[in-house]
C-alpha cells in the first residue's frame, strides 16, 4: 500500500489550469496513451473527475490520499471532497502566497473540531522566491504573521503541519523556535543538504515528489523520515513529464526511490506508508 501525502485533487479548476500549462506535452501524451502498462492515459479534463482520479490511484496501489488546502475557500473545497470520497483526507491551510490578501481582507480563525477527515494544517509556511520588497511590499512580515497564526491553529487543534518553504529557511526555523512541540513534514523539499539536516534534527519528515526524478543532485532524506507525495496536478515524475500529475504516480516515485536507495519497492512502500500513518494518524 502507498499513500499520497500531498495532492490537490479536490478542485477541477486546478486541473484545468494544469492542463493549459501542459500544451507542449501533447505529443508525449499521445505516446503514453498506447503504453500497455497504463492503458488509457488521461488526456482530457473529463478524465480528471474525483472518481476517475481515485480509481486510477487505487489500481496503482495508492489507497490513501491527502488533498491539501491552499486558502480558506480552497480548504473548504478540500473538506467537501474528502467527505464525498473514501480514503481521501484533507488539510486546512493558507499558503504563504495568500499572505498579502489575508493581510488586506483579514482571516477568521475557523473552528476545526467538528470536521471529519481533517488530518493536518497545511500547506503553510514561507515562500520568498521571486519576491522583492519594491514590488511586493512587506511580504516577509505578512507571511511570517500568517505562518504564526497557522502554527497556533495547529497547536490549538493538536494537528501536524504540512510546511511549504522556499528560499526562507532561516526565518522558518527562527519562527519554529517558538513552537517547539509542533510536528510536521517539509513538503516538496528542494533546498540544501544543510537545511534538510536542520529539518531532520527538528524531528520533521521530508516530502519527496516527482522533482526528485528530474532535478540534478537532489538531496534525499533517510527512509525513516521520508513521505511520498505527488503535489498533483503539478511536478509530474519522469518518464511522464509533459503530462498532468495525479496520485497514481506515487508508484513511479516509489520505483525511482527504490532504484536510488537500493531497496525493494515493497520496502519503500512499507516504510513511507508507516511514516505517513504515524504523522497524520490515518
Ligand atoms: Zn502543494
8-state DSSP, 249: G
Q: Domains of the chain by range and CATH?
A: 2-280 (3.20.20.140)
Q: Which of 242, 277, 278, 239 is nearest to 259 (CA)?
A: 239
- What's the gap in Å between 34 CA and the centre of ligand 1? 30
- What's the gap in Å between 234 CA and the centre of ligand 1? 8
- What's the gap in Å between 162 CA and the centre of ligand 1? 9
List pLDDT tens digits, range 167-204.
999 999 999 999 999 999 999 999 999 999 999 999 99
Contact criterion met (CB below 8 Å) for 226 and 273: no
Q: Which of 113, 119, 110, 106 is nearest to 146 (CA)?
A: 106
- What's the gap in Å between 8 CA and the centre of ligand 1? 7
- What's the gap in Å between 235 CA and the centre of ligand 1? 10
Residues whose CB is under 5 A from ligand 1 (ion)? 231
List pLDDT tens digits, range 73-131.
999 999 999 999 989 999 999 999 999 999 999 999 889 988 999 999 999 999 999 99
Task: Name the band, by pLDDT with cuts 50, 70 and 90, for residue 13.
Answer: confident
- What's the gap in Å between 95 CA and the centre of ligand 1? 9
User: Residue 227 and residue 205: Cα distance in Å, rounded?
Assistant: 7
User: Residue 178 and residue 106: Cα distance in Å, rounded?
Assistant: 23
- What's the gap in Å between 68 CA and the centre of ligand 1? 7
Q: Which helix (H) or strand (E) holds 32?
A: helix 26-33
pLDDT at 31 over 90: no
The per-residue pLDDT of the chain, averaged, comes to 91
| 239 upstream amide cis, omega within 30 of 0 | yes
User: Residue 154 and residue 157: Cα distance in Å, rounded?
Assistant: 5
pTM tops 0.75 = yes
Amino acid at each position: 500500500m502507498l499513500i499520497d501525502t500531498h495532492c490537490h485533487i479536490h478542485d477541477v479548476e486546478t486541473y484545468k489550469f494544469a492542463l493549459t500549462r501542459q500544451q507542449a506535452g501533447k505529443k508525449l501524451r499521445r505516446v503514453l496513451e498506447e503504453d500497455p502498462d497504463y492503458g488509457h492515459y488521461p488526456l482530457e479534463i473529463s478524465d480528471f473527475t474525483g472518481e476517475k482520479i481515485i480509481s486510477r490511484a487505487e489500481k496503482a496501489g495508492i489507497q490513501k490520499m491527502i488533498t491539501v488546502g491552499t486558502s480558506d475557500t480552497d480548504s473548504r473545497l478540500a473538506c467537501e471532497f474528502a467527505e464525498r470520497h473514501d480514503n481521501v483526507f484533507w488539510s486546512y491551510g493558507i499558503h504563504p502566497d495568500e499572505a498579502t490578501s489575508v493581510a488586506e481582507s483579514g482571516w477568521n480563525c475557523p473552528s476545526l473540531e467538528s470536521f471529519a477527515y481533517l488530518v493536518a494544517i497545511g500547506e503553510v509556511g514561507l515562500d520568498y522566491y521571486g519576491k522583492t520588497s519594491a514590488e511586493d511590499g512587506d511580504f516577509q512580515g505578512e507571511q511570517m504573521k500568517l505562518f504564526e497564526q497557522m502554527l497556533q491553529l495547529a497547536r490549538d487543534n493538536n494537528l501536524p503541519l504540512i510546511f511549504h518553504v522556499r528560499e526562507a529557511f532561516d526565518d522558518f526555523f527562527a519562527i519554529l523556535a517558538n513552537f517547539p512541540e509542533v510536528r510536521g513534514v517539509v513538503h516538496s523539499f528542494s533546498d540544501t543538504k544543510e537545511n534538510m539536516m536542520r529539518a531532520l534534527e527538528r524531528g520533521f519528515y521530508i516530502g519527496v515528489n516527482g522533482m526528485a526524478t528530474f532535478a540534478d543532485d537532489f538531496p534525499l532524506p533517510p527512509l525513516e523520515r521520508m513521505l511520498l507525495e505527488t503535489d498533483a496536478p503539478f511536478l509530474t515524475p519522469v518518464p511522464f513529464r509533459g503530462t498532468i500529475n495525479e496520485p497514481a504516480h506515487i508508484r513511479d516515485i516509489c520505483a525511482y526511490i527504490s532504484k536510488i536507495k537500493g531497496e525493494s519497492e515493497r520496502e519503500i512502500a512499507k516504510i513511507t506508508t508507516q511514516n505517513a500513518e504515524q504523522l497524520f494518524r490515518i
